[in-house]
Amino acid sequence: MKLHPSIHVFERGWLSSNNVLLLGRHDAAMIDSGYVTHKQQTLELVRHALRGRHLDRLYNTHLHSDHCGGNAALQAHFGCDTFIPEAEADKVRRWDEDALSFKATGQQCERFTVDGVVTPGETLLLGELEWQALGAPGHHAHSVIYYCPSEKVLISADALWQNGFGVIFPELEDDGGFEEAGATLDLIASLDVKVVIPGHGAVFDDVEAALARARRRLDFLSADPKRNAEYAVKVLLKFLLLERQSMPLAATGPLFEAIPLMVEMGRRHFGMSATELAAWAVKQLVRACSARIENDILLNDG
């Protein structure tokens, strides 16, 4: 499918989110910067696409580590101004690791600075096009998605993928995430969208079918909130394993014990200690052929 020539999508593999570079005649902006361990690759992709030009502005749809982990590197190289959802600004300025999600999930993010905020409802000129910033809670309470009416293109972050959406993190703390995710899907359905640039995976145009799949997925998860918790635990362990590629099997229990979200999910949703939850999660990944065990080492697979 053809996108406007000002829109350049870098489809990334896990651990990084996709990056969207928006080139105008006089400036360049990018949405989302990937994970910190991929920062050099992110920088090289951006430099190659800019062909000697400068990256002026950087935006984050939300502050999960796979979407903002490259911020510091891009700031250091380009000196670009960085804009984040308004509700997250004070946390970043204080670098409040308890309020931000990085510590809670056991993931990394280099400290970055914030120059401005994005408020849901505002319109921004990014590249050659006007984009509407829309609040999209569900996966993340303060996520923003970007819609271009003239091109009927939606940058959906993790609110909508071709097959589902990201973990509903607010629901893990009983914070009404299912209802918010449903409202976000309703919002997307109300827009005239022809092409979606998701946070992960390929650009797609089967928007109605994707929305239908997402609604079925949401119905399945909301029917039993433990299902969302199970999905979250498996995703988070897989993320950690992708980052490390291997770890001693005996280290998984202490690792989970050191991750606040794992401790809380074990208590709230499973009635398990974090160490017991780690053993359960390992079994699930091995059963799904997403990991394997050799000589008491847990190895990434699949």
| pLDDT band per the 50, 70, 90 thresholds, residue 223 | very high
Quickly count: other Cβ atoms within 10 Å of residue 14's Cβ: 14
Give the residue-averaged pLDDT of 27-47.
98
Has residue 23 got a pLDDT over 80?
A: yes
Q: Are 9 and 22 in contact (CB under 8 A)?
A: no
Give the residue-averaged pLDDT of 19-36.
97
99/97 Cα distance (integer angstroms): 5
pLDDT of residue 174: 75
* Domains identified in the chain and CATH numbers: 7-223 (3.60.15.10), 226-300 (1.10.10)
Has residue 173 got a pLDDT over 90?
A: no
pLDDT of residue 176: 83
195/46 Cα distance (integer angstroms): 23
Give the residue-averaged pLDDT of 108-122.
97
| pLDDT band per the 50, 70, 90 thresholds, residue 165 | very high
| pLDDT band per the 50, 70, 90 thresholds, residue 196 | very high
DSSP per position, 158-224:
TS-BTTB----GGGGGTS-HHHHHHHHHHHHHHS--SEEEESSS--B--HHHHHHHHHHHHHHHHHS
Has residue 285 got a pLDDT over 90?
A: yes
Has residue 302 got a pLDDT over 90?
A: no
- Give per-residue pLDDT as tens, 133-142: 999 999 999 9
Give the residue-averaged pLDDT of 236-260.
97
Q: Are 29 and 20 in contact (CB under 8 A)?
A: no
Residue 1: both structure tokens together = 């499918």
Backbone angles phi, psi at 136, to 5 degrees: -140, 60
Q: Percentage of the chain with pLDDT > 90?
A: 96
24/5 Cα distance (integer angstroms): 10
170/181 Cα distance (integer angstroms): 10
What is the pTM for the complete model shown?
A: 0.96
Give the residue-averaged pLDDT of 56-70.
98
